[in-house]
Structure 1
């Protein structure tokens, strides 16, 4: 009789664990989109600021500009990756405690806890890659200029256009998700990018 009760309880625990994992897998999409868009905006504005400084530089050291863009991308990627991982693990621990209270048992080293760790690592890794992806796109013209395939000034302005293009695409994507006008949302993000460019431009002129 006791064995049957334990087996029944084990089946209920497994079913509950399966439900939690299915629910978590459905939640990871919106969470990933939110973190990705936020990191994409942050990294784009950071790269835009670096490019603005390079446009007004008297002696443009393209290698220094690229190394600055790459270094800032790694720093931002590590920062966002760690913060996302820590916040997700904190949320995981809170949910695990609630589950343990509901099941009257510890869930250490179970499928549930391991999957929570996997989700947190996936979110952190993708957020780490986002600034690097943004840097790779925006730095293409400057990289071409280092091989004398493109004029330096033109390369800097093309990088600005690419940065604004990223903001526009991200804005249209947000517009579709929020069921708003994608074009208006995209143009709004571009306006913010232009404002950031103008502020940076004025700051550089005053220094």
Structure 2
């Protein structure tokens, strides 16, 4: 018997977990790309194709790390919860909706956890692809990509503010300030040797 994914998420109360994973790993992806971009900005000039390759490599690594770590941890948690429920009900629930959820929810979680940083990274890299294809941009490609990274971090903060029921603007500004502080640290430590 098949159970709809939304139903499996609902009976395990996993919607909040998926949302947290998406925001946390999306934030990681955006900050990682921002860090790489700023590192390239303060380093000697590098071919755009090299920058894209390095950033894509990091995005894929973040995605695979997100998938594997979330799957292993969530699978263990779901198995433990199923065993506790089976113990309370004194029944084998492997063929029930809860048993199916214990098998499928870790996969859903892993996919969301892995997709978040990859999605953020691809959005951030978009100006680099445009510039590499010879299309003109209003700002230098690295600056444009860094601007998108900052915008995405701000939007993640806005989303968190909406979820928490607090000021979306304040929440967005708080996450943006974290990204700016990260950028400042990178400029300080990586670019400081030139000054």
The two structures have a TM-score, normalised by structure 2, of: 0.88
SS of residue matched to 2:93: coil
* 1:122 maps onto 2:97 in alignment: no
CA contact (8 A) 2:40 2:46 kept: yes
Partner of 1:24: 11
Residues 37-63 of structure 1 show CA distances to partners (whole Å, capped at 9, x for unaligned) of 100111111000110022123222111
Q: Whose helix fraction is larger, Structure 1's or Structure 2's?
A: 1
**Structure 2, gaps ≥5 residues long:** 1-6
**CA RMSD between the two structures:** 2.0
Offset at 1:103? 2.1
C-alpha separation in 2, matches of 1:183 and 1:155: 27
Query: Which residue of 163, 172, 175 maps to 1:186?
Result: 172
Residues 43-97 of structure 1 show CA distances to partners (whole Å, capped at 9, x for unaligned) of 1110001100221232221111111111111111111111111121111111111
Query: Which residue of 144, 158, 161 maps to 1:172?
Result: 158
Partner of 1:159: 145
C-alpha separation in 1, matches of 2:130 and 2:102: 43
CA contact (8 A) 2:158 2:171 kept: yes
Runs of 4+ more than 6 Å apart: none
**Structure 1 stretch 49-58 or stretch 150-159: which is displaced more?**
150-159
**Structure 1 stretch 96-105 or stretch 44-53: which is displaced more?**
96-105
C-alpha separation in 2, matches of 1:151 and 1:30: 38
Offset at 1:142? 1.1
Partner of 1:57: 43
SS of residue matched to 1:139: helix
CA contact (8 A) 1:145 1:152 kept: no
Could you say which structure has the greater relative contact order, defined with CA pairs below 8 angstroms and 6 or more residues apart? 2
Partner of 1:37: 23
Number of equivalenced pairs: 187
Distance 1:67 1:22, change over 3 A: closer
Offset at 1:110? 4.1
Partner of 1:204: 190
Partner of 1:148: 134
Query: Which residue of 82, 91, 95 maps to 1:96?
Result: 82
